[in-house]
Structure 1
Amino acid sequence: MAEWQTAEQVAQTTGVPVATLRRWGKSSLVKTQRSTRGTRLYQPHEVATVRAKLAGEPDDTRYRVLLGNGRERPEQVLPPAETLPVTCIDLFAGAGGTALGFHNAGFRHGLLSEFDPAAAATLRENSERLGLGWNIAEGDVRRLDFSGLRADVIQAGFPCQAFSYAGKSMGFEDTRGTLFFEFARAIEQVRPAVAVGENVRGLEKHDGGRTLTTMLNTLDELGYRVAYRILRAQYLDVPQKRERLIMIAVRKDLDAPILFPQERDYLISLRQALDGVPESPGQRYPEKKRRVMELVPEGGNWRDLPEGVAREFMGGSWTLPGGRTGMARRMAWDEPCLTLTCAPAQKQTERCHPSETRPLTVREYARIQTFPDAWDFQGNLAQQYRQIGNAVPVNLGYHVARCVLAMLGAVPRTDDMLEA
């Protein structure tokens, strides 16, 4: 079992300053956990490995790129297994991140539902060109009748909405009027063996945790055992610090464990992810902003600007509390990228290229989300950024899908699958 120590203890044995350790932990560059007293703990061997990597020392193992079949290009999604006789329905499919991950794991898709016209066009274009054979239903999911459909799995990245609780039992009926209800309605009508829900990690504490409780109670009421985990994509073959809440439900009449992927002991750096990335369109800074961003070093932010420049650039945000570390933020080559947003040049969540003074391009965005270079995005530039930024990373979807396949007995369970 890995040894966990306080920042002060690890600093003594590794020579990494406490302040640096806390920065690495906050940015998820190293794993941390809380002690029973609330103190953040670190693993000395992990810290030493990251220090070696950042110092350019050889024989680093933490940053290995292991994407299957010995391939070492992180932009290449995990290789498709042979297609298995296991079917899936994907709701709120977006640009296809989860669907492609499930496809690469071996799933066959019976239906993908997507409301946004540009994202639906992306699904159609890639399905036709790459021969995926997906049936894409564009439009309002509330108009779909699932009663005649059958599938082993239903997957949905439903939007998080507030519910009303006054005088109610916090069950299936309480979700009416929300898009989660459409996920639940599909489950009720199709009765899949497994259902997978995905959302932002903030769902766990949304409305004091009551929103998530309502969802879990709903799945229980529908006849499913359910568990959830917050998965960190940066430890699952994704070059991005991105956390997602994944809930997995299995029908109560089935004797199957609920499995989640175990986090790996390596990361993929932005340098690895963007190696050989194709040229593509991207946003550009206005000249005034470009001159400001030119002053920010690799991995830096507004704190690295001269005070007068920073005050003018930040405007009213200058007096706000908190670190505001997303402002004037330039990415670092030797770390995973920060979480991608729907646009790379938003003032509060800047995603500037590590060495060029410009926002990340569309294809760079796609690499970071582990879409293959052959995956085309439809719509205008803003719509393409939004589709990629909203997507579940393909490789994260792959790892979840392999666990679901093991739950169904379609593939062997492996040591890197953890029972809930």
Structure 2
Amino acid sequence: MIDVQKKAESHISLELLADILSLPKRSIESKIKKGELTPCETSGLIHKDQIAHYPQVKNINESKWDEELKVKPKRKYNLVELFAGGGGLALGMEAAGFESVMLNEWDKHACSTLRHNRPNWNVVEGDISKIDFTQIKEDIDILTGGFPCQAFSYAGKSLGFEDTRGTLFFEMARAIKETQPKVFMAENVRALLTHENGKTLEIIRNVIDELGYDLIVEPKVLKAIFYKVPQKRERLILIGVRKDLAGKANFNWPSVYKKVMTVGDALYKGELYSSDVEKSAGQQYPERKKEIMSKVPQGGYWRDLPDNLQREYMKGSYFLGGGKTGMARRLSLSEPSLTLTTSPAQKQTERCHPIETRPLESREYARIQTFPDNWEFQGPISAVYKQIGNAVPVNMAAAIGRSLVRFLNDLEA
């Protein structure tokens, strides 16, 4: 057992290396063919000494995570959060030391979750367009939120603040205008970078400028696997500072964690959690689907099934191009999870338990998003999966939060 553990600490799988380097697995296999990497003959794993020169691996090996954990607010920093959902971002910001003045969310089940777990939080339920943010009396240090990615109308427009009216981005911009926070942080899907050939992001930049804010760093896609989250989720982060404060301090992105966490770390006692995951509510497969899924190996997907079962399961999709790697997908204990969706048993985005033949249960889902075990979700199981699947992973949110606290501390100085 000790030898196996030592090998796990000194070696890395091709799949995990591909995730770290943001390359497809076939690119790693190509490096092996060229002799750039030499896997262990018995295990097929790569010794970590061979990859120490890659910048992403250097960042892990030179992590300042423990140092950054010590960052604390110099004073009370007030936060307003929009589109709060089931609380992933809010929990991370709380862990970093921010104090929530108000959280807005329209989904009633998500609001029930926030109130149930934090009765002291001021949760304002309802349509954001109906909220008058000028009623907030406190000085707001930071405003956060993840607005949905929506197209803007371009016809004959100057493409400023008023031209985004009718979108949820407009409502976030209006909240910034009415609360005048020192800093704002918006998170979104990676696709926003290229949405409408970059026009959407260009308009967002225009509006930020018009509101009297500067983006203090270029928008950046952060990969959750680097921030103590056992999941391959990616989020685009935009951070702006009020122009009267611009140039008074430098913002630094959070340091990455010392290692990459896996599904096994989420489900069993170890570095992430002090006990194995408990049983919880979850969806079930119909009998025939369960029979087919039972034939998929750990870390495998539909192409690992016998051809007759591939045809039965995939139906018309069997003849279409593309890998469709989310279909009939069973997770692996030794890798991070694929990005969680709002349902673990959708055909296109299957998230089957690594060992048992069933969809991930709600508590397993929550652990992969690094929610604490004492965070209790409210509502029917479909609403619970939705709250978890849409959340910002708590540990990643906390890492970003500590960087924002450090930036505000420097502004204070």
Normalising by the smaller structure, the TM-score range is 0.7 to 0.9
Contact 1:83 1:107 in 2 (8 A): no
Name the counterpart of 1:191. 180
Distance in structure 2 (CA, Å) of the matches to 1:50 and 1:277: 33
Match of 1:140 among 110, 123, 127: 127
Name the counterpart of 1:355. 355
TM-score by length of 1: 0.81
Distance in structure 1 (CA, Å) of the matches to 2:44 and 2:144: 38
Name the counterpart of 2:297. 297
Match of 1:116 among 107, 118, 134: 107
Distance in structure 2 (CA, Å) of the matches to 1:356 and 1:271: 13
Alignment of 1:220 with 2:213, yes or no, is no
What is the deviation of 1:261? Answer: 1.8
Alignment of 1:155 with 2:144, yes or no, is yes
Distance in structure 2 (CA, Å) of the matches to 1:286 and 1:222: 52
Match of 1:96 among 80, 87, 93: 87
Distance in structure 2 (CA, Å) of the matches to 1:210 and 1:51: 50
CA distance 1:182–1:54, change in 2 (3 Å) = farther
Contact 2:161 2:170 in 1 (8 A): yes
- Count of aligned pairs: 378
Distance in structure 2 (CA, Å) of the matches to 1:408 and 1:93: 22
TM-score by length of 2: 0.83
Unaligned runs of 5+ in 1: 1-13, 71-77, 414-420
What is the deviation of 1:52? Answer: 11
Over the matched positions of the two proteins, sequence identity in percent amounts to 48
CA distance 1:240–1:147, change in 2 (3 Å) = same
Contact 1:233 1:396 in 2 (8 A): yes
Name the counterpart of 2:21. 31
Name the counterpart of 2:223. 232
Alignment of 1:336 with 2:323, yes or no, is no
Q: Which structure has greater strand proportion?
A: 1
Alignment of 1:259 with 2:252, yes or no, is yes
CA distance 1:185–1:386, change in 2 (3 Å) = same
Amino acid at match of 2:117: N
CA distance 1:79–1:259, change in 2 (3 Å) = closer
Contact 1:32 1:40 in 2 (8 A): no
CA distance 1:94–1:67, change in 2 (3 Å) = farther
Distance in structure 1 (CA, Å) of the matches to 2:188 and 2:39: 32
SS in 2 for 1:388: helix
Q: Which moved more, 1:211-220 or 1:362-371?
A: 211-220
Name the counterpart of 2:284. 284
What is the deviation of 1:87? Answer: 0.7
Amino acid at match of 1:207: E
SS in 1 for 2:124: strand
Name the counterpart of 1:322. 322
Contact 1:33 1:40 in 2 (8 A): no
What is the deviation of 1:285? Answer: 0.6
Amino acid at match of 1:282: G
Q: Which moved more, 1:109-118 or 1:224-233?
A: 224-233
Amino acid at match of 2:231: Q
What is the deviation of 1:316? Answer: 1.4
CA distance 1:39–1:285, change in 2 (3 Å) = closer
What is the deviation of 1:256? Answer: 2.6
Q: For residues 345-371 of structure 1, give each alpha carbon's deviation from its aligned partner in whole angstroms, at most 9, with x where no partner exists.
A: 110110001011011000000000010
Name the counterpart of 1:73. none
What is the deviation of 1:15? Answer: 12
What is the deviation of 1:79? Answer: 9.8
Distance in structure 2 (CA, Å) of the matches to 1:55 and 1:326: 24
Alignment of 1:366 with 2:366, yes or no, is yes
Name the counterpart of 2:156. 167
Amino acid at match of 2:133: F
Q: Which structure has greater helix proportion?
A: 2
What is the deviation of 1:40? Answer: 12
CA distance 1:262–1:168, change in 2 (3 Å) = farther
Q: Which moved more, 1:339-348 or 1:208-217?
A: 208-217
